[in-house]
């Protein structure tokens, strides 16, 4: 069984580092002329996946935009995962789950066990009930060769009061989270399977990111104002491991599949130029 980190390294090297978010918001469904309905959601998802999943390394559906339609939306999400993987992309489920005990184990079963209809290649998770609370997810990910992306420093301004708080040892909460991730990835080849989420719009990052030895999911490229050049500067010591994540910068070009594909190709070429050296 090949690790998530190994599969991701190979796809970044062959397809480029771009990650495309599939975020069917009300505004985008309306802009595509589909209507904010389960039927509109299904058409949106099918068109988006067909346009991007054959050429990018990673597709990242945002679970909340599907869940808001109840069981019909979750059924569409299951199709997104299956179809994107069938087209050769890895799927990161953007669910940001985090809890304790048996609930954490249940989330792990939902998103990481291969028998689950929602099983993805990796899932985003929150460590802010204590990093140890994530252990059931760590264990199941290891068992099945799946990946995790742990929220570390996000770009929303509200996050600083928690993520930049310091403990008795002087480390920030975010720094402590990244130290835990680095420990889990220690010695992994060619790339660890536990990644972090670090906002591409951050202006500083007081952490030696090369120590992580894992992927860095960097949302905020495109509509939020960051560029691939920004991510290369911010994560210079680990730029080959960065997944710049875009959503609206691509999806705003829909529903025309040619325009969607052109946007993906342009941004992926830009990502390669700045992050592949």
pLDDT band at 222 (very low <50, low <70, confident <90, very high): confident
Nearest to 80 by CA among 121, 115, 108: 121
Between 14-18, 55-59, 234-238, 273-277, the lowest mean confidence (pLDDT) is in 273-277
Mean of pLDDT values over 124-129? 97
Domains of the chain: 4-275 (3.20.20.70)
Give residue-wise pLDDT tens across range 137-153: 999 999 999 999 999 99
Q: How far apart are CA 43 and CA 64, in angstroms?
A: 17
Question: What is the distance between the alpha carbons of residues 14 and 16, in angstroms, rounded to a whole number?
Answer: 6
The DSSP code sequence of the chain is: ---HHHHHHHHHHHH-S-EEEE---HHHHHHTTS-SSHHHHHHHHHHHHHHHTTT-SEEEEBHHHHHTTTHHHHHHHHHHHHHHHHTT-EEEEEEEE---HHHHHHHHHHHH-TTSTT--SEEEE--TT-GGGGHHHHHHHHHHT-EEEEEEE-SSGGGHHHHT-B-TTS-BHHHHHHHHHHHHHTT-SS--SEEEEE-TT-S---S-GGGG-S-EEEE-BSTTSB-HHHHHHHTGGGGGGEEEEESHHHHTTTT-HHHHHHHHHHHHHHHHHHH--
149-153, 219-223, 241-245: least confidently modelled range: 219-223
CA neighbours within 13 Å on the CB side: how many for 199? Answer: 16
Mean pLDDT of 123-136: 97
Above pLDDT 70, what percent of the chain? 100
| Options 50, 83, 85, 96, the catalytic residue | 96
Nearest to 226 by CA among 204, 205, 202: 202
Task: Note if 96 is an active site residue.
Answer: yes
Q: What is the pLDDT of residues 4-55, one digit of tens each?
A: 999 999 999 999 999 999 999 999 999 999 999 999 999 999 999 999 999 9
């Amino acid at each position: 069984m090949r690790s998530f980190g190994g599969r991701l390294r190979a796809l970044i090297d062959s397809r480029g580092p771009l990650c495309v978010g599939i975020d069917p918001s009300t505004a985008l469904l309306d802009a595509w002329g589909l209507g904010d309905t389960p039927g509109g959601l299904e058409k949106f998802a099918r068109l988006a996946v067909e346009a991007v999943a054959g050429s990018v390394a990673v597709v990242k559906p945002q679970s909340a935009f599907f869940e808001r339609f109840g069981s019909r939306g979750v059924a569409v999400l299951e199709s997104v995962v299956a179809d994107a993987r069938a087209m050769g992309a890895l799927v990161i489920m953007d669910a940001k789950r985090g809890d304790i005990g048996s609930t954490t184990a249940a989330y792990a079963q939902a998103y990481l066990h291969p028998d689950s209809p929602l099983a993805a290649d990796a899932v985003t998770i929150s460590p802010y009930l204590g990093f140890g609370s994530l252990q059931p997810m760590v264990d199941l990910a290891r068992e099945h060769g799946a990946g995790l992306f742990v929220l570390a420093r996000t770009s929303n301004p509200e996050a600083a009061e928690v993520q930049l708080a310091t403990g008795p040892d002087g480390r920030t909460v975010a720094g402590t989270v990244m130290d835990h991730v680095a420990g889990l990835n220690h010695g992994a080849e060619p790339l660890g399977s536990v990644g972090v989420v670090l906002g591409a719009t951050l202006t500083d990052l007081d952490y030696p990111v090369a120590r992580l030895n894992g992927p860095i999911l960097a949302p905020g490229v495109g509509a939020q104002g960051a560029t691939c050049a920004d991510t290369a500067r911010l994560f210079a010591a680990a730029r080959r491991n960065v997944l710049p994540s875009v959503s609206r910068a691509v999806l705003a070009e829909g529903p025309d599949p040619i325009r969607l594909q052109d946007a993906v190709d342009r941004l992926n070429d830009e990502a390669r130029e700045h992050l592949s050296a």
